[in-house]
Structure 1
Amino acid sequence: MILSGTEIDRMVQASSIVIEPYHKACLEPNSYGFHLGADLIEYHGGAIDPHLELQFRRHTIGDDGFLFIPGRFYLGHTYEVIGGIDYASELYANLSTAMCGVFIQTSAPLGHTGAVIRWTLEITVAQAVRLYPRMRIGKVCFWENYGEIGAYGGRYTGSSSVVPSRIIEDRAL
């Protein structure tokens, strides 16, 4: 069951959901509007090989914004630290962002229960778009768990900014 905005607010106050910094004005009927952090990663160096270290450059989005170019793939992060102590979370682009051809979290929107971090965002654009730090870019919703809850202890635990893929840790069986 998805939580309503008023229930998200109640769970933030009860410390069952973490959103820092938290602004009640960002609550929506079934979600909370989150903002883009200033750090980006862009892969380079040709094809990605899961058995080799990834080659990437770091960028910082300044106050004048950063021009995202079609055909490139960027990793950004949420400005807020977000997560459910007792709830699973799911991140999406907001409609205004998507209507400009900006896509985030198209393949990995699920946040496991207990993962309280600055979320790494998968960002692609359909046309050149300038984005700014701390602009509202997406929304997070929270889901009630059914069954026994296993706390998140994955390899992205404690992320405080954007992190590159750790695909090198995925070895074939």
Structure 2
Amino acid sequence: MILTGTEISQRVHSGDITIAPFLAKNVNPNSYNFRLAPRMKVYQEGVIDIKEEKPTEDIHIGPEGFVLEPMRLYLATTMETMGSTKFVPTYAARSSIARLGMFINLSASLGDIGFVGKWTIQLLAINRIRVYAGMDIGQMMFWKVQGDIDLYDGKYQGATEAYASRIFMDYQKKAMPAPVAAPPIVHPLEVVDARAAELDDA
């Protein structure tokens, strides 16, 4: 079941949900509006090899805003630190943002229970759109769980800024172990000679 805005507020005050800073005016009927932080990242030009770390460039959104170019991916982040060890978070764009032709996530809207940090959001615009730091850009929702809870403790935990993909770490973990040295080959005649020496010593 999804939490109502009133329940989200109560759970923030009880400590079951983290939203910091928390603004009462950003509470919706069943979600919380989060804001766009002033710093973003873009991948450098060239092929992205998922087995290697891809360098990024930083972008600062000044008072005049920043124009998103169509069909270019920008890794932005939330001003708020958000998460929960009790509820599963999911997020989406505000409907007013979506109607401009802008996505704030491409296919990864589901968060993990136990993650607490600033959320990396993937901005992709169909049109040229000027965005501003501090604008309400998306909404976070929280869902009740059923079953035993296994808290998230992955490679994005505690994020304080937009994180580029760390999928390359998955391949580092799967690296093949060093081959085990084969036992030395003993010639049959050496075995016979060794046994003969043992008999001579007896």
Answer yes or no: same fold by TM over 0.5.
Answer: yes
Give every structure 1 segment of 4 or more consecutive aligned residues whose post-TM-superposition deviation is greater than 6 Å: none
1:109 is matched with 109
Relative to the length of structure 1, the TM-score reads 0.96
Q: CA deviation at 1:62?
A: 1.1
Counterpart code for 1:150: D
**What is the rounded CA distance, in whole Å, between the counterparts of 1:24 and 1:40 in structure 2?**
26
Which structure's residues are more often helix, by fraction? 2
- 1:96 aligned counterpart, secondary structure: helix
2:55 maps to 55
What amino acid is aligned across from residue 69 of structure 1 in structure 2? E
Larger radius of gyration: 2
Amino acid at match of 1:35: R
Q: Deviations over 1:76-128 (max 9, x none)?
A: 00010011121110010000111111101221111111111000001100100
Cα distance, 1:170 vs structure 2: 2.2
Q: Percent identity?
A: 37
For the residues of structure 2 that align with 1:170 and 1:161, how far apart are their CA atoms? Answer: 21
**Structure 1 counterpart of 2:126:** 126
- 1:99 corresponds in structure 2 to 99
In structure 1, list runs of 5 or more residues that go unmatched: none
Q: Which deviates further from its counterpart, 154-163 or 43-52?
A: 43-52
CA distance in 1, matches of 2:40, 2:170: 23
Equivalent pairs, count: 173
CA distance in 1, matches of 2:114, 2:170: 22
Aligned to 2:18: 18
Larger mean Cα displacement after TM superposition, 11-20 or 42-51: 42-51
- 2:85 aligned partner: 85
Distance 1:82 1:14 in 2: 14
**Cα distance in 2 for residues equivalent to 1:28 and 1:72:** 30
SS in 1 for 2:10: helix
Q: TM-score, normalised by structure 2?
A: 0.83
* Corresponding residue number in structure 2 for 1:7: 7
Q: Bigger relative contact order, structure 1 or 2, given CA contacts below 8 A and separation 6+?
A: 1
RMSD: 1.2
* Letter of the 2:4 counterpart: S
Q: CA-to-partner distance for each residue in 1:42-96, whole Å, 9 max, x for gaps?
A: 1122110012220211111111111100021110000100111211100100001
8 Å contact 1:45–1:55 — kept in the other structure? Answer: no
Q: CA separation in 2, counterparts of 1:134 and 1:111? A: 22
Residue aligned with 1:170, SS = helix
Contact 1:65 1:131 in 2 (8 A): yes
Aligned to 2:40: 40
Structure 2, unaligned runs of 5 or more: 176-202
**Range that drifts further, 45-54 or 34-43:** 45-54
Cα distance in 1 for residues equivalent to 2:53 and 2:17? 35
